[in-house]
Amino acid sequence: MQYVLIIHEVEAYPAWKTIFDQAADIRKLAGEIRYQLLHYDNDTNNIVHFSEWSSLDNAR
């Protein structure tokens, strides 16, 4: 399995999360196996997205 770590800032976490959730089926069909979303305690707009994929090509 391959893993991807993305750390980025979003403008508004609730709006970003809605779009992220809507893309769940697309990511799963592309090969995403599982993911974790984390954020900084003092800033919910700083996101850490850690995911497991069937391959790095699929993650790209």
Split at pLDDT 50, 70, 90, the class of 1 is: confident
Domain boundaries, the chain: 2-59
Residues 33-54 pLDDT 10s = 999 999 998 999 999 999 999 9
Correct CATH for 2-59 of 3.30.310.50, 3.40.1000.10, 3.30.70.100, 1.20.950.20 = 3.30.70.100
Residues 6-22 pLDDT 10s = 999 999 999 999 999 99
Could you write out the three-class secondary structure of the chain? CEEEEEEEECCCHHHHHHHHHHCHHHHHHHCEEEEEEEEECCEEEEEEEEEEECCHHHHC
